[in-house]
Structure 1
Amino acid sequence: MSSEITPNVMNQEDYIDTLHHHIKLDDGILSLLHPESGERILDVGCGNGDLLAKIAAAGAVPTGIDMSEAVVQRARQKYPELDIQVADAAQYRSELPYDAVFSHATLHWIQDAERVTRSIWLALREGGRFVTEFAGRGNVAALTTAIQQALLSHGYTWEGRNPWYHPSLGEYTSLLERNGFRVLFAQHVDKPTPFKREGGIRIWLDAFNDYFFHDVSAADKSSIYDAIESQLKPYLFQDGQWHIDTSRLRIVAIKELIPCNIL
């Protein structure tokens, strides 16, 4: 069974659009990767392939992997010249090592952070770099707290509903160091992200229905949505539009010697 979690929503295009507002696509992360001509680079969770294409445009030789067959199919149609594969990041292996591993807005979907960290370490040559940006501690905390409170007040349990891995900066850098990486750069950024979709916060809640509200009756869901919206509006509704309380980690690390727990 895959260790990556993907949402089961009717319209995958809507989900991708929602997620890009949830964790806004940011080309600035490529400046940390700094791809160079001829480098072999693995993109973990390449999604629609847009950043993979920019890595290729810099002269590097990228490979993209993603767990979603539907996402990979669309990425291949958009960029038929690129090497894009369906693969589980926690189990991925390559015969030839990469100069760099890159991942954007993906690792918070993988609960088994230890296994995926080992896979990334194994994919790199010695001295190769790992560059990532993903959601960290505090990401959508106001949203998930409001959801939890509304569910509990309506008689539903909270356990097992939150699908994300949101580590603190210290937690994640410690994980990397335990698994043979030396962290060169680590940053935690809190930045509210405007949610411009018509329908506001309810569209966000609908996008993650299968996690938070899969067993909730239609009548209860309407009441729960009202409660969540009422609780969050003073904090997340600004200048006439809703915002998502996003928090992101940005990390640059390099592969060092073999740690004993990988042998």
Structure 2
Amino acid sequence: MTGARVLDLGCGSGGNLAHLTAIGADAVGVDISPVQLAKAHERWPHLDVRQDTAESFLATAPHRYAAVYSVFGAAWFTHPADLLPLVRARLQPGGVYAFSHNPPALMGCYGAQASQMEPLTKGEEPLYVRRWDYEPRTWVEIVERAGFTEVTAEVIPPPAGKRTGTLLVRGIRA
């Protein structure tokens, strides 16, 4: 991992990014939330975090990356037809794209779904955003159609006492 260029799409407050930086990655994080980025700067002032949408950053990024990942971030909230070609273009050959989010909440509810985000400040109205939910098999098909190989998708069971597992999808840029 030392020296590998890595991109976190939807880095939030920077925890995953800080870990990768600590083990030697040349890592950058992108998030649309100024509140989350302020938390990242406060806790880890050395992190390279940028306020932008995933699509805009990927369209203008000057580098290629060994890995692009999204942990409950931009990959869940961006239309795959828009995001996947941009991710593929920014990955170096053999680079890894991985993302995670909750499995679909309801059987049969696939594709774009309305998602309510709790307000950051008490008393504010909730924010409604779209998220893209698919079964693992469908994610494999979507990611393969976007030009990735060795695509896997699985639901990792939840820890004891939790109700929801984690969907993990991974593919390689050919």
> Please, what TM-score do these two structures have when normalized by structure 1?
0.53
Could you give the per-residue CA deviations for residues 173-222 of structure 1, whole angstroms, max 9, x where no partner exists?
1111111111343212343775xxxxxxxxxxxxxxxxxxxxxxxxxxxx
Return the alpha-carbon distance in structure 2 between the equivalents of residues 128 and 67 of structure 1.
24
Return the alpha-carbon distance in structure 1 between the equivalents of residues 9 and 83 of structure 2.
10
Query: Which structure has the greater CA radius of gyration?
Result: 1
1:252 aligns to 2:153 (yes or no): no
1:99 aligns to 2:66 (yes or no): yes
Q: Could you say which residue in structure 1 is the equivalent of 2:51?
A: 86
- Does the CA-based 8 Å contact 1:100-1:129 persist in structure 2? yes
Secondary structure, aligned partner of 1:246 = coil
Match among 76, 87, 90 for residue 123 of structure 1? 90
1:47 aligns to 2:17 (yes or no): no
1:76 aligns to 2:33 (yes or no): no
Return the alpha-carbon distance in structure 1 between the equivalents of residues 75 and 24 of structure 2.
29
Secondary structure, aligned partner of 1:90 = helix
Return the alpha-carbon distance in structure 2 between the equivalents of residues 120 and 162 of structure 1.
21
Change (3 A) 1:122 1:164: same
Return the alpha-carbon distance in structure 2 between the equivalents of residues 90 and 175 of structure 1.
18
- Does the CA-based 8 Å contact 2:75-2:99 persist in structure 1? no
Q: Could you say which residue in structure 2 is the equivalent of 1:56?
A: 21
Secondary structure, aligned partner of 1:95 = coil
Return the alpha-carbon distance in structure 1 between the equivalents of residues 165 and 138 of structure 2.
15
Q: Could you say which residue in structure 1 is the equivalent of 2:146?
A: 179
Return the alpha-carbon distance in structure 1 between the equivalents of residues 132 and 152 of structure 2.
20
Instruction: Determine which structure has greater relative contact order: mean sequence separation of CA pairs < 8 Å that are 6+ residues apart, divided by chain length.
Output: 1
5+ long unaligned stretches in structure 2: 110-127
Return the alpha-carbon distance in structure 1 between the equivalents of residues 23 and 159 of structure 2.
31
- Does the CA-based 8 Å contact 1:91-1:116 persist in structure 2? no
User: Percent identity over the alignment?
Assistant: 25
Secondary structure, aligned partner of 1:73 = helix
1:132 aligns to 2:99 (yes or no): yes
- Does the CA-based 8 Å contact 1:183-1:251 persist in structure 2? no
Change (3 A) 1:193 1:46: farther
Change (3 A) 1:179 1:108: closer
Secondary structure, aligned partner of 2:45 = coil
Change (3 A) 1:183 1:42: same
Change (3 A) 1:105 1:95: same
Alignment RMSD: 2.4
Shift of 1:163: 3.8
- Does the CA-based 8 Å contact 2:78-2:132 persist in structure 1? yes
Change (3 A) 1:162 1:76: closer
Return the alpha-carbon distance in structure 2 between the equivalents of residues 105 and 186 of structure 1.
15
> Please, what TM-score do these two structures have when normalized by structure 2?
0.78
Return the alpha-carbon distance in structure 2 between the equivalents of residues 193 and 92 of structure 1.
37
- Does the CA-based 8 Å contact 1:176-1:183 persist in structure 2? no
Return the alpha-carbon distance in structure 1 between the equivalents of residues 150 and 44 of structure 2.
33
Question: How many positions carry a matched residue from both structures?
Answer: 153
